[in-house]
Structure 1
């Protein structure tokens, strides 16, 4: 159950310093640069592993700030939050504390692709993160700006391999030494803010970018390939100026689902949670965009922006004449602002006001803070190892938007894993990895380091070929035990709870397997269920639970003695029963693909019309490159293993269809030949 009190704070003076001269030490195991979502998870994870850790951030009061949308989770992203929580990270528990609107996205599809999501109170989220960090043993927080990294010159015996030794602050104080450093600079690395035709240095409104010396070290001294990406944020709208009666109401789920496996309920009660509202753009919105393009230097740049969370200008240019969704989302329980998701824009403020008033529900809206764009440097992530360590610089780890990703959840996941490995490096422990088969975090990292990015990377369930087994409900079983026994980042309290859950679920599954009844008997016990098996065969309780209309509660009411003790896991057992056959089938598919890498792909194939589940991004890449074999397709940047599975199944199906057609034609020719021979004179 979620407590109604923030974690107790340790002495503020011990934990927080506003200058290097106030630090109790000048030598740390791990230094984390940046106090965003990646940085907070990295610092907390490094400290949990056992490293003396220093978190350096430009402003202490902005630690845990929700720079853009005050929300957490979603399709693919929610899976990352559950996995971060399973590894004892912060964001899941913070989301449960600060959530004011909880919902499960993708309910119409299977539980494997459900997306846990919550709208958050900005102030409550920031307070929780700061409280957690300031009460974390072995973690010190320092307010300051990092001027540059301290790195050694390459060893003559290992050309090109530097080693990080610490940082220098911009205030000219004494350097701070460390065995490893984690950079989580977000959008602050050579960041520039754009609004209309004006631009200024910055990583977030009102905050300066990171030091130019840091960029110089990465680019010049370490020789890293640096790219440039962009993102943006919408204007914040005064709530009282919006006519919500003209928008569609979307209340929170009646039974909110917490992010954290340690919580059984959310802090904000269902009746106190706030609704979201849905409205749409109009032709007037498109007109304002087109009329103001010449005033919008950000949208005219060649720098790549996010494909899956684009600005309204990008949407209009790419999909002219289309109506677009706009979600009006609350920013907090006591906030008087709304966040218009879907209206990220960088045009001049007066044009922004013109645009939003073209939407009926916003026809009298007032802007509190205009939207703006951000451009920033990122390090091409193929230069990183799966531990998120820079290949040519020992002890230097990168996480978050500096690796070309977008979103709080992707940043938090990378931050946790970079923090874990930075601590293990400092403590002379071997690096740990997560594979694609066991986690979405593994998918995320593998995609980054093996394929790189050409645009801001966002996690989707379609990127994971094992998504039927990488579900939100079982992240604790997949990762918590490993996090305690192998990684060292999970507390004993969470570990004991995970062991209890694992053992209880195993006992429940065994109990279901022991319920062996004939189909006539099952029909008598469940008269309202249509059992498809025609023959009189034996079915287990596990098999019956795979029926859509059969719940664990129904079986427990029939067999209370053996099943009632496991009622708290009723939904998890139902999901496990439904997906177990699919998981087994998917593993076999992957094994077949690995054997069929030489399968030819037709060069005249129309990838845009293939009746398979391929994203538009994947279709564009395949159409442009036109790989000759399945193996060649797997090596293309941007092609996910999940897409390869769909492509493989389609090609195999078409090949089987072609062979059947050839066989039928052969039989027809044989019959014609027989008929001709029979008609010839003997």
Structure 2
């Protein structure tokens, strides 16, 4: 899958210009506005489902561009990439093709919270995405800026509901009609750029924002609630001006793990990967930040920014005196630039240079492009259905940062699902949804549409209640078969591979389960397995594989006739064995929470005195809102999955005590009545 030859970018542009010459009055099933991570996934997914799709981007050559950090994946985010790939999306395969530094984050913890991550070559990633779009049947690409959405007047029978009918471009050409429209505007919806005290319109440096008419249509004509968010990016540093010997070397994994389930290796050979380097801020950095605050209008704004990827100014103000990590990451195999992750800033360029040079490894650094901030409009996502369709406008779908999220991976996941449902709507097929219990994409969408956002939303493994079963290694088993059989967005090639993997894993697990020996026999076969049992017990191969010192390779060498055919899946089988008990318990928790979602919570409950593990923040939220049911509590912003489980256990325990007390009281009452009756009988006699 990694041997394909990418077509020259010039060929892509020529073909697109030919396609654009006859678009003026055509009708499409789906129109996707925006060519970022959400837009490219949405367009490709809609076309895979079977819809005639048009992707409209302001600049063709920036389709698939990595606007900020040239990386993909991470803790929580890597799970999203694996799930997008399992549904036949683009970003996983693109990451494998463009990766130059692969690593698994959180290795010291369990595989459920491992974070597959790759540093990327900007140019190769963009070329791969454009190549995939070029070869996708039923997909056309057009360069242009959207002036407004075309919508019908409200239905007299339902005055609050509109219907989208297409778009009109800024150049005043004829409208382009469609049954569904997907907006993936990123930071370009009424976007403004900030650097020092200067402000200019834009969604990214060098690129203009979308027309004000588009935001006006959403706000005034459709009556949607619009908010404002902000983000930023660090300056790009000339690599040769940095003394990397003064930073800590962080090599890539010696055995790179690909994102895509279709790939057994990455394009980049282990010895060809580029290292990253780690350094830290100094007191001089904090001094420059404080000296430049009066010159920094972006940091003085009340607009909410990303809590988990803040600017260096925000970090200094929130955590004075603390050293902050700065990762020096390459931007490509042949790039002359470094990306200093952790140094997003919006101060004037001369102050940026002063700040950079306060870090020893960059004491002579030169800035190629200054950092800057972006503020942009977003639509409050509680106005969307789980299909990511605007509730009040039939056929209008939103995905990416327009929904209040941050990050490539969150955008790609939303884009894929919005594209799927936009296509199904256009083809008169019912909408489909993903549950929180089966995917991180389901967690992401449910959080957005049921809880909303007060700051840019970022995915973490802690947001998923059932992360033990939502692992990166099993995303194909969870989603690929459903994507083919129920959703229609997965190719037959990928489906056949997923079926092969599923059947092989089931056969291997059955073989392990039938491999039964006494503990004494296992000790003889595997003397270094670390078994501590003193009495003889019967154990299966699955039981033994749960031991830390037992790998599938060791088992296969001891029982080659049973297990050697399954060596291809050795790591997956080890993970499956380790997590089998946890997943069994988790499935019970899933059924229990689903069953108890309508369980009422006492109105007079004192959340501050509950004898359970709840954070102060969670107690304050519960006390302020006082949800009436457990299901209502799960949908509150800031309530963690662990808090819901603890709350469920507390209410159950309390009710059991109440029932026990009630039974005791009833028993005592019956006993008193019997004694009274006995005394009356004695007197009468």
* Contact residue 152 and residue 165 of structure 2 kept, 8 A: yes
Query: Partner residue of 1:639?
Result: 639
Query: Partner residue of 1:491?
Result: 491
Partner SS state of residue 68, structure 2: coil
Structure 2 CA distance for partners of 1:425 and 1:656, relative to 1, 3 Å: closer
Please say if 1:93 is aligned against 2:93. Answer: yes
Structure 1 position 635, deviation (Å): 3.7
TM-superposition CA deviations, 1:543-597 (whole Å, max 9, x none): 1111111111111011101100000000000001111110111232344456465
Structure 2 CA distance for partners of 1:583 and 1:181, relative to 1, 3 Å: same
Query: Partner residue of 1:349?
Result: 349
Query: Partner residue of 1:46?
Result: 46
Structure 1 position 645, deviation (Å): 2.7
TM-superposition CA deviations, 1:147-170 (whole Å, max 9, x none): 000000011112211000000000
Query: Partner residue of 1:167?
Result: 167
For residues 216-231 of structure 1, the aligned pairs below 5 Å read: 216-231=216-231
Partner SS state of residue 320, structure 2: coil
TM-superposition CA deviations, 1:322-355 (whole Å, max 9, x none): 1111000000000010000000000000111111
Structure 1 position 4, deviation (Å): 5.2
Structure 1 position 20, deviation (Å): 5.3
* Contact residue 105 and residue 115 of structure 1 kept, 8 A: yes
Structure 2 CA distance for partners of 1:648 and 1:357, relative to 1, 3 Å: farther
Query: Partner residue of 1:598?
Result: 601
Tell me whether 13-22 or 522-531 shows the greater mean CA deviation. Answer: 13-22
Structure 1 position 23, deviation (Å): 2.3
Tell me whether 262-271 or 593-602 shows the greater mean CA deviation. Answer: 593-602
For residues 205-224 of structure 1, the aligned pairs below 5 Å read: 205-224=205-224
Structure 1 position 638, deviation (Å): 3.0
Please say if 1:506 is aligned against 2:502. Answer: no
Query: Partner residue of 2:391?
Result: 391
Q: TM-score, normalised by structure 1?
A: 0.92
Whole-Å separation in 1 of the counterparts to 2:405 and 2:472: 21
Structure 2 CA distance for partners of 1:151 and 1:635, relative to 1, 3 Å: same
Whole-Å separation in 2 of the counterparts to 1:244 and 1:619: 47
Structure 1 position 92, deviation (Å): 0.3
Query: Partner residue of 1:277?
Result: 277
Structure 1 position 534, deviation (Å): 3.5
Q: TM-score, normalised by structure 2?
A: 0.91
Structure 2 CA distance for partners of 1:26 and 1:632, relative to 1, 3 Å: closer
Query: Partner residue of 1:665?
Result: none
* Contact residue 607 and residue 623 of structure 2 kept, 8 A: no
Whole-Å separation in 1 of the counterparts to 2:546 and 2:13: 57
Partner SS state of residue 181, structure 1: strand
Structure 2 CA distance for partners of 1:631 and 1:137, relative to 1, 3 Å: closer
Structure 2 CA distance for partners of 1:619 and 1:34, relative to 1, 3 Å: farther
Partner SS state of residue 249, structure 2: strand
Structure 1 position 443, deviation (Å): 0.4
Structure 2 CA distance for partners of 1:621 and 1:15, relative to 1, 3 Å: farther
Structure 1 position 633, deviation (Å): 3.7
Please say if 1:325 is aligned against 2:325. Answer: yes
Whole-Å separation in 2 of the counterparts to 1:311 and 1:172: 40
* Contact residue 250 and residue 276 of structure 1 kept, 8 A: yes
Query: Partner residue of 1:130?
Result: 130
For residues 453-532 of structure 1, the aligned pairs below 5 Å read: 453-532=453-532
Structure 2 CA distance for partners of 1:405 and 1:226, relative to 1, 3 Å: same
Tell me whether 5-14 or 424-433 shows the greater mean CA deviation. Answer: 5-14
* Contact residue 182 and residue 422 of structure 1 kept, 8 A: yes
Query: Partner residue of 1:663?
Result: none
Please say if 1:17 is aligned against 2:14. Answer: no
Whole-Å separation in 2 of the counterparts to 1:601 and 1:313: 41
Partner SS state of residue 397, structure 1: strand
Structure 2 CA distance for partners of 1:638 and 1:573, relative to 1, 3 Å: same
Partner SS state of residue 263, structure 2: coil
Structure 1 position 449, deviation (Å): 0.3
* Contact residue 13 and residue 60 of structure 2 kept, 8 A: no
For residues 522-671 of structure 1, the aligned pairs below 5 Å read: 522-593=522-593, 595=596, 598=601, 602-605=606-609, 621=621, 633-645=633-645
Whole-Å separation in 2 of the counterparts to 1:326 and 1:234: 11
Partner SS state of residue 300, structure 1: coil
RMSD: 2.5
Structure 2 CA distance for partners of 1:299 and 1:617, relative to 1, 3 Å: farther
TM-superposition CA deviations, 1:434-463 (whole Å, max 9, x none): 100111000000000000000000000000
Tell me whether 118-127 or 319-328 shows the greater mean CA deviation. Answer: 319-328
* Contact residue 182 and residue 397 of structure 2 kept, 8 A: yes
Structure 1 position 602, deviation (Å): 4.1
Structure 1 position 320, deviation (Å): 1.0
Give the length in aligned residue pairs.
655
